[in-house]
Amino acid sequence: MKLAFIIDPIHQLDPCHDTSVALMEAAQILGHEIWVTQANLLSVVDSKAWATLQQVELIPVQLVEGRWIAANPWYKLSASSFTSLDAMDAVFMRTDPPVNDSYLYATYVLDYIDLNKTLVVNSPSGIRGANEKMYALQFTNAIPETIVSADKDFIRQFLEAKGAAIIKPLGNKAGEGILFLEPGDRNFNSIVELSTLRGRLPVMVQTYLPKAKEGDKRIILLNGEPIGALNRLSSGSDFRNNMATGGTVAQTTITPREYEICTELADTLRQDGLIFVGIDVIGGYLTEVNVTSPTGIREIDRLDGTRLGDQVISWIEQTLKN
């Protein structure tokens, strides 16, 4: 197969952490061609999606004494070529958020891929329709008590009723801009003004889940089925558990309650073309559905001795055969 990955500039990726690299490595080991491009290198010509692509050869990371070790350099790029994305067997949209104008326009270009020839992971329309905070709201049996609003008074009422809450910008990633709120906080007005741009942007406000101190679980789903999980723990100096904010990771299992949540999401994810997804669960509650460039494979593989990338690429192979 020929697989194209739309990623951030490859020199910015961390081969010991980035799931995109894990997927590319798995595909290469399984004998497939790997091509890379960026969102700003996509075009539409004669109503078809094209991209400036480079073939990449990777030196896979090695697990040494419980740590991933990468070669330096760890990749080699070919000369670039302007190629129709219909020539690819699958295209992975793996550009990191924020989902800004550039990101959205890239998904519009991907709409012009012929889906009879090429599989797109994840669906461009699915990504556009699935804000990673808002998408979870439709699964009412799975989420904690949540509001979305830009109204300071409404947010204050919710906070006072719940005792403590988390405020989340709708467009950020990796824990950026997430704040902890308590009733009586003298900074409340400033926090809400900054988060909502003085009432111009809505934010998500969720009741605080005390079990967050025990970790924030990331579960990877492939076509609606859970294939692996890890627990993220705060550094102690930050209430957030995200790896990007200094959190650590620990081995974990998927509980019966978490399987129930995955089952509740599965049909909707498949219907929306969201094939590779990472959900976040705290204390048995769904808090986010990550669809743009979910990560966690490297950490799960290291902790559990798995090769989740192989499972993903094998699923792609089987799907394209059917």
Annotated catalytic residue within 18, 94, 132, 168: 168
Annotated catalytic residue within 25, 272, 290, 298: 290
Q: What are the structure tokens assigned to 19, written together?
A: 């799931």
Active site residue 211: no
Q: Are strands 225-233 and 248-250 parallel, antiparallel or unpaired?
A: antiparallel
Q: Return d(Cα 230, Cα 218) in angstroms, integer.
A: 5
Annotated catalytic residue within 218, 231, 241, 272: 218
Exposure of 5 by Cβ count < 10 A (0-12 exposed, 13-18 middle, 19+ buried)? buried
Annotated catalytic residue within 132, 216, 288, 301: 288
> Which backbone phi and psi does 103 adopt, to 5 degrees?
-65, -45
Q: Return d(Cα 118, Cα 83) in angstroms, integer.
A: 13
Active site residue 288: yes
Tokens 């078809």 found at: 48
Q: Which amino acid is at 111?
A: D
Annotated catalytic residue within 94, 173, 217, 240: 240
Active site residue 133: yes
Q: What are the structure tokens assigned to 79, written together?
A: 């000369």
Annotated catalytic residue within 18, 25, 122, 133: 133
Active site residue 290: yes
Active site residue 280: yes
Task: Decide: 146 and 205 in contact? Cβ < 8 Å.
Answer: yes
Task: Decide: 279 and 262 in contact? Cβ < 8 Å.
Answer: yes
Active site residue 156: no
Report the residue count for the chain. Answer: 322
Active site residue 173: no
Active site residue 307: no
Residue 129 to residues 122, 126, 137, 163, 173, Cα–Cα distance (Å): 11, 5, 13, 32, 17
Cα–Cα nearest to 147, from 186, 211, 185, 192: 192
Q: What value does the CA radius of gyration of the chain take, rounded to a whole number of Å?
A: 20
Q: Return d(Cα 204, Cα 210) in angstroms, integer.
A: 18
Residue positions annotated with a catalytic role: 133, 168, 218, 232, 240, 280, 288, 290
